[in-house]
A and B are shown apart, each in its own frame.
Chain A
């Protein structure tokens, strides 16, 4: 049983409302934070080893310590709730069922960073969650946790919810800031980093929903205690949103001590592959991270059990590993077509490219076209190398990481499933009958 810090009280009836949340120890972290200096709060987060839960995994305390503090210039905290990475739906769960946990984390973090105006930038499609958050904010205001001179601390803070309007790219922090300024979500060239020049050219910290919610348990139990959970530099707990061909899709909180095999097959989590089928492949950290065939997913290249940690999932680099990413865990059973799945992801990135950088704007379209013809029986053998060549020229050649995010899924699909691409070229009729010629991918995979 994994230790739960975020979702521990998710099942308490009425926890969405202020009174029940408060009765169950809610807002204790804000009380504690306001008794500390802002720098002490930052120090506590540093000690916890918390890493950004949005996908990049950058140490949060370090990011906070980069925030410039020129006198007389406002600083802003922005919560990134633009959750749009395919496979990822954990922030939605947290906001929908535990809105006060996020608000509490935001107030404590705003105190630490000196943000008097804090924004939650939420993807526009989560329209009903805006109401839930605004209700929680109103309750927090009514009970003196927001507003002027919060609980006699002299600290003023207000939280506003800003809706996006449909753009994956706005999950990139500088695109998010542009969007919050009322512009197209075109990522900015860094440097300057938001910590120096962010929202309205003021120093800004942008953190993911789960990251900011995690500040609450960190303050409650202490950074050192939090850092004891997990393995190595993967401290604390992580929300994993599991989907695809599994028996129990959903959002799970894991302390980072379990293996991938346990996560997939244990009744506590995914409950195994649906319909008694075999595991073929998995994208463990949101659509951008490399897909792994079942054998490499469950065991590292060294033959050790692969662990559900930042280091475990990335063990072996991109040759034999993947990434923790956003925690969007997409499982493919033996009947799924990797070419078709990769095509949907390529279409996604083509649709979401902002169009600023040529390699991404043009390359994502080319990749979709080529995958489309391979999937639809018009592929040529040289198309596979062409795809490889295009993704390689996108990666690292764009302003923001969307280029990499578009390139990696295609690269990994070819790296590990090249014969499935070849089969599509040689045997298009068989593919139409859902024969992808590669049951062997699943062969070593029956759980012991």
Chain B
């Protein structure tokens, strides 16, 4: 069964239209981002294979791109992914303490997902929010100026969202 709904196919057509005739391979990264968003925040082999068919390229061309860029999840992840920046400027502002706090609150290590499938914790490299450190990406947005209290509130917010 197709992983691409009619809406998604229409979006693929809109993306492909940004490029000159015959250059539809350029749509690959935007299409994979869109598909990942629509298909549970990860790229299954089926989604990647179908992307190849839609763009008229070989599956290997999709795999080599999907494995190169850090935003593509090739395994299922939790419903809420905490991507905490750990590069220099965030380190200066205490990101190690924030990561330690999240680990103890969620009872998982970096790279792990909680057994209920709600949270995944990732330590990532610079996200361009150095002046507002420590910070993390949560979905489409950044959460900045993190403190242990603020992290607790975010965890609560995510739990409430999942219950709603």
Which A residues are within 8 Å of any B CB, using their own CB? 74, 83-89, 92, 117, 123-128, 160, 162-168, 179-185, 200, 241-245, 249-251, 283, 287, 328, 330, 332, 336, 340-341, 344-345, 347-348, 351-352, 354
Contacts and interface: CB of A to CB of B under 8 A. Distances in A.
25 contacts: A87-B89, A88-B128, A167-B68, A181-B26, A182-B55, A182-B57, A182-B65, A184-B65, A200-B23, A242-B131, A243-B130, A244-B93, A245-B92, A249-B130, A287-B88, A328-B130, A330-B88, A330-B89, A340-B91, A341-B88, A341-B92, A344-B86, A347-B87, A347-B125, A351-B125
B149 to A, nearest CB: 20
B137 A125 contact: yes
Interface in B20-54: 20, 23, 25-30, 32-33
A159 to B, nearest CB: 10
B144 to A, nearest CB: 10
A167 to B, nearest CB: 5
Nearest to B92: A244
A168 B140 CA distance: 19
B88 A89 contact: no
Interface stretch (B1-9, B69-77, B151-159): B69-77
B70 A167 contact: yes
A54 B63 CA distance: 30
B71 A160 contact: no
Interface in B73-87: 86-87
B13 interface: no
Contacts of A344: 86-88, 91
A117 B18 CA distance: 9
Contact of B131 (A185, A241, A332): A241
Interface of B: 18, 20, 23, 25-30, 32-33, 55, 57, 61, 64-65, 68-72, 86-89, 91-93, 125-133, 137, 140-141
B88 A348 contact: yes
A92 B69 CA distance: 20
A184 B89 contact: no
Nearest to B28: A182
A249 B129 CA distance: 10
B141 A128 contact: yes
A165 B71 contact: yes
Contacts of B27: 182
Contacts of B88: 86-87, 283, 287, 330, 341, 344-345, 348
| Closest 3 pairs (CB-CB, A-B) | A166-B70, A165-B69, A249-B131
Given A165-B32, A182-B25, A244-B92, A352 B131 contact: no
A168 B125 contact: yes
Contact of A332 (B71, B92, B141): B92
A352 B29 contact: no
Contacts of B130: 86-89, 241, 243-244, 249, 328, 330
Nearest to A202: B20
Contacts of B61: 182-183
B28 A249 contact: no
Contacts of A89: 128-132
Nearest to A251: B131
A165 B87 contact: no
Given A127-B140, A184-B64, A243-B133, A330 B92 contact: yes
A352 B65 contact: no
B128 A180 contact: no
